[in-house]
Amino acid sequence: IYEITVEKGEIVEEGDYLVALNNVVESQTAQSLKDTRDAAQRDLELYVENYESNKNAVGGNDEYEISKRKYEELLSKAEAAYQAQLESLNKTYLYAPFHGKIIDIYAEEGWTALSGSTIIKIANENKKIFEIELDQEDFEFLKIDQEVEITLDAYDTEVFTGKVLEIPSYVNQEAGSD
């Protein structure tokens, strides 16, 4: 991880730049492809410079144009490969997928991030989901889409409103339910 640009608790907008991953292999490949593109550009320029005014030296106008087109195609191919690699390199930057709040940062600059690992957790505070545990006797009082009010000790004066999205059809033995 090369750079982390946000802090825990910060509000971010969709598309905000969050993290840069330093991918050495991708960077080196991009530099190599840039060098190849630059060499192809120099070869085309040198060919034109040397033979445009003396096309007979390469077999006449038709031969000159055919060779020039080959140099142009090599340059075009090298440019396409370089641009594709740059696009791949851009994928090593992480951006906020939606408006939200940085809930936690699980890594630090200088750390190695493994593919699929969580670096930052973002929450959309406009869509809160509460998971609660109920005694089995209380299940009969809940229905899907039922309007509910939720109060939390951490928010003394706030009452959250919402609706029941899901009622599991199993017992969670780890929670101590019967």
Its pTM stands at: 0.48
Asked if residues 103 and 123 have their Cβ atoms less than 8 Å apart, the reply is: yes
Amino acid at 3: E
For residue 82, how many other CB atoms are within 10 A of its CB? Answer: 21
pLDDT for 70 equals 97
What is the distance, to the nearest Å, from the Cα of residue 38 to the centroid of all Cα atoms in its chain? 29
From residue 97, alpha-carbon distances to 8, 70, 101, 122, 140 in Å are 16, 43, 11, 9, 38
What's the confidence (pLDDT) of residue 47? Answer: 96
Say if residues 7 and 105 touch (Cβ distance below 8 Å). Answer: yes
d(Cα 166, Cα 137) in Å, to the nearest integer? 17
Contact (CB, 8 A) for 139 and 107: no
Query: How far from the centroid of its chain's Cα atoms is residue 62's Cα?
Result: 49
Which helix H or strand E contains 107, and what residues bound it? Answer: none
**By C-alpha distance, which of 40, 36, 103 is closest to 68?**
40
- Judged on CB neighbours under 10 Å (0-12, 13-18, 19+), 78 is buried
Q: List the chain pLDDT tens, one digit each, 178 residues.
A: 889 999 999 999 999 999 988 777 788 899 999 999 999 999 999 999 999 999 999 999 999 999 999 999 999 999 999 999 888 776 678 899 999 999 999 999 988 887 788 999 998 877 777 788 888 788 888 899 999 988 888 777 888 888 988 887 766 656 554 4
